[in-house]
Amino acid sequence: MQRVEDEILRLIDECDYSEVTRLFKNLSGGKRLRAKLILKIASNHEMAPLLAAIVELIHAASLLHDDVIDEADTRRGVASVNATDGSKTAVMLGDILYSKAFTELVNFDKDIAKTIASSVTALSKGEMMDVKMADEFNADEDKYLDMLYLKTATLIEAAAAAAAMLVGKDVEAHAIYGKNLGLSFQIIDDILDITQDSATLGKPALNDFVEGKCTLPYIYLHRKLDDSDKKRLESLHAKKLDENDSVWIKEKMQEYKTVEQSFELAALLSDEAKGVMSADAELVAILDSMIKRSF
């Protein structure tokens, strides 16, 4: 991972602009899930750290744009770039990171470069779908999972597939693993937005719903409620919740076990990924760690 961090800093330095360096240093690196996945799959390949750095720049760029779209003041408990330096700067920094990542992709085989680049198109499409879906309460599970796949899972899927290409491993199996890891990872994130407190999250609890996102626990809850309670839940969508409304939502979720139902889907996806990668203990361990995390 130190080589990945060194590569990231080298790429940022090559942008040759002190503002980019300053702003990037203020970003939280996060879990580096995508980089760690690439290193696990292609651990002995000399180009793996660069590929991991490229994917992390893409991920960072997508988060910068995501924060602007969501008007988020914080990211991982730290003030977001759009909060400290404005939305225009955040968008431009994201554009620089995307552009630098694409520039470096030419160092790789065409199929590897295409796999990563195509995932960014899918990611952007997923982001647009997410914004559009926030216009009204969405009760369609399949529609939500399609968006989740595009917005979150495609880049993880592409990272796993590209790493497999790099070292001649089974690309299809690793792609399935990456897709399911990405989907289950995000479902767990959606659950934590409900079950964890604000201090742990680094943002208000139930923030997804306030921002207009109908994640699985809300979709499953909507199915279980009577007509009157359905209307109440729909009326709270994309609005600031008072204490009574927050308590009501959580109590109804406990009553109908919609968080548990969401976790069951995440666990099922994780188990499917384990099935295609059962011979790789380290990749199985990543899934186990992800599904058990509290944040």
Of 56, 91, 107, which one is at a domain's C-terminal end? 107
Query: 75 — alpha (psi -120 to 50), left (phi > 0) or beta?
Result: beta
C-beta of residue 147 within 8 angstroms of C-beta of residue 244:
no
> pLDDT tens for residues 55-85?
999 999 999 999 999 898 988 778 999 999 9
22 and 146 belong to one structural domain: no
Residues in the chain, total: 295
138 and 275 belong to one structural domain: yes
Structure tokens that stand for 95 in this block = 């554009």
4 and 140 belong to one structural domain: no
Rounded Cα distance between 23 and 225, Å, is 46
Is the residue at 68 inside a domain? yes
12 and 125 belong to one structural domain: no
User: Directed axis angle between helix 243-256 and helix 216-224, to 10°?
Assistant: 70
Rounded Cα distance between 103 and 292, Å, is 37
248 and 162 belong to one structural domain: yes
290 and 224 belong to one structural domain: yes
148 and 280 belong to one structural domain: yes
**Angle at Cα 279 formed by Cα 276 and Cα 281, nearest 5°?**
110
pTM over 0.85: yes
What per-residue confidence (pLDDT) applies to 198? 59
C-beta of residue 8 within 8 angstroms of C-beta of residue 70:
no
> pLDDT tens for residues 225-273?
999 999 999 999 999 999 999 999 999 999 999 999 999 999 999 999 9
pLDDT at residue 144 tops 90: yes
159 and 270 belong to one structural domain: yes
Residue 173 belongs to domain with CATH number? 1.10.600.10
88 and 137 belong to one structural domain: no
Q: Which of 215, 223, 222 is nearest to 266 (CA)?
A: 215
222 and 201 belong to one structural domain: yes
Rounded Cα distance between 223 and 137, Å, is 12
Confidence grade of residue 294 (pLDDT, cut at 50, 70, 90): low
Number of domains in the chain: 2
Confidence grade of residue 28 (pLDDT, cut at 50, 70, 90): confident
**Dihedral sign (CA 270, 274, 275, 276):** positive
Q: Measured in whole angstroms, how far is the alpha carbon of residue 231 from the centre of its chain?
A: 30
124 and 19 belong to one structural domain: no
Domain that holds residue 242: 109-295
